[in-house]
Amino acid sequence: MTADPRDLVVRGLTKRYANGALANDRIDLHVHAGEVFGLLGPNGAGKTTLVKQIIGLLKPSAGSITLGREDFVANPDTARALCAYLPQGALPLSSFRLQEVVELVGRIRGGDAPAVRRRVDHLIAALELDEWRDTAGIELSGGTRRLAGFLMAAVWPAALVILDEPTNDVDPLRRRLLWRLIRQLAEDGSSVLLVTHNVLEAEQSVDRLAVIDKGRIVAMGTPSSLKAGDRQSLRLQLSLVPGVDPPAPPPFAHRPIRLGQRWHLGIDQSDAPEAIRWAQDRMAAGVAEEYVLGATTIEDLYIRLIGREDALDRAS
């Protein structure tokens, strides 16, 4: 993709908090107009700090954030006008009814009442939320509140839509509807910056992604380009019997990673039969409880990059 005058460009973005913590360390990003860009990383990696700087809630210590010709660091008001934002935390919904609050945000974002009403009807139907249209926020389930928050971000076109963990607490069926709408936002011309720690879900839904850890970007690209190095590889996952000393990794395994009671081993396709035999022997010896041999996913790359089990949050 070539540069578009509506692209979000982040250069050398650094944020050091007053207590000395370095939350973002020289981050470079280029999110293209019409693209769904995933920002992955474990808790505390600096994802939310990054988006709060883009939306103008935090001031960068160094670096630049521009959308087209607009300088977001110098003009946070412009950032708020051009970005729609679903924050990670709670939304002030308690005393609003669902449709009412989405409509009000649509008007605050600049829409006129009839157009906003049509758009809200469309969105509520698309997420199958009709039965909660007039329900007060305080009576909505956590997932429905999250979806209401998404609608508040999607209700009126924005150059950049920032979604911080949009699928949290959302049921699997509506997650799919939600992903479809997120894709639609991009097709309608918005750039979508999607923050998540749900790796598998992101792999299926984003155009490109960046993995962020300890404030730095450690990998960036399309899901398939990030997996390119693993193309000939399989993943052998071995669940160990608790309390037993882990076996030495077999000679054909590469990049063994221990995550609590689980071993993750990279295996060449040609070594698959040998790997199955090895795993079955470990089970017979009472060292392992079960094994799974499968294709590598972004999750394998992610675990390798982050190297900690707390980094993981599997799709439910």
User: Cα angle at 112 between 111 and 113, to 5 degrees?
Assistant: 115
Sites for another protein among residues 106-135 (CB under 8 A): 107-110
Tell me whether residue 95 or residue 280 sits nearer to another protein (CB atom): 95
Structure tokens that stand for 260 in this block? 């609590």
Q: Which of 5, 20, 89, 273 binds another protein (CB under 8 A)?
A: 89
Confirm or reject binding of residue 91 to another protein (CB under 8 A). yes
Half-sphere exposure of 142 (CA within 13 A, CB side): 9
Sites for another protein among residues 23-52 (CB under 8 A): 52
Q: Are residues 37 and 191 in contact, defined by beta-carbon separation less than 8 angstroms?
A: yes
Confirm or reject binding of residue 59 to another protein (CB under 8 A). yes
The stretch among 36-44, 80-88, 203-211, 288-296 that binds another protein (CB under 8 A) is 80-88
Mutual orientation of helices 142-154 and 113-126 as an angle, nearest 10°?
140
Q: Which of 38, 42, 76, 266 binds another protein (CB under 8 A)?
A: 76
Tell me whether residue 108 or residue 285 sits nearer to another protein (CB atom): 108
CA-based nearest residue to 272, from 288, 289, 296? 296
CB atoms within 10 A of CB 300: 22
Confirm or reject binding of residue 260 to another protein (CB under 8 A). no
Mutual orientation of helices 142-154 and 98-108 as an angle, nearest 10°?
30
Q: Which of 71, 100, 274, 289 binds another protein (CB under 8 A)?
A: 100
Q: Which of 75, 95, 232, 280 binds another protein (CB under 8 A)?
A: 95
Q: Are residues 212 and 194 in contact, defined by beta-carbon separation less than 8 angstroms?
A: no
* DSSP, res 128: T
CB of 180 to another protein, least distance (A): 25
Give me the residues paired with residue 293 across strands: 236
The stretch among 76-84, 188-196, 215-223, 244-252 that binds another protein (CB under 8 A) is 76-84
Count of residues touching another protein (by CB under 8 A): 32
Helix, strand or coil, per DSSP, at residue 253: coil
Binding site for another protein (CB under 8 A): 18, 52, 55-59, 76-77, 80-81, 83, 85, 87-92, 94-96, 100-101, 104-105, 107-110, 136, 138
